[in-house]
Amino acid sequence: MLELRPNCEACDRDLPPDCTDACICTYECTFCYDCVSHRLMNVCPNCGGGFTPRPIRPKTEWRPGVNLSHQPASTTRVNTQYSHSEMKLFSDSVNVIAPKNR
């Protein structure tokens, strides 16, 4: 099950569970849409993969035991270990390759 991390790993912006501009990579690295589009150029600085919009976990319990109150979002903030200049260098070297070919 997705962690639904609470923040952008690059700019530390809050990304609550119902946020529509949170993006994740296949390892659940979480970044805001602005950082993914303008800073990272759709390259995860941690794994080199691409991003997809993070799904929103339902607030309403449409099925018994399945909703945000039963599977809450993570409260542990995560920040990438790479500096902005390291992220840019990495992104510039990888973004010319389509995510499906990385």
Confidence of residue 72 (pLDDT cuts 50, 70, 90): very high
The pLDDT value recorded for residue 76 is 97
Q: Are 57 and 4 in contact (CB under 8 A)?
A: yes
**Residue 46, domain member (yes or no):** yes
Reported as a single tens digit per residue, the pLDDT across 28-49 is 999 999 999 999 999 999 999 9
How many independent structural domains does the chain possess? 1
The pLDDT value recorded for residue 11 is 97
Reported as a single tens digit per residue, the pLDDT across 3-20 is 999 999 999 999 999 999
Euclidean distance between CA atoms 32 and 10, whole angstroms: 8
For 57, the token pair is 């976990």
**Residue 37, domain member (yes or no):** yes
Please name the helix (run of DSSP H) or strand (run of DSSP E) that holds residue 84, with its range, or none.
Answer: helix 84-94
**Residue 90, domain member (yes or no):** yes
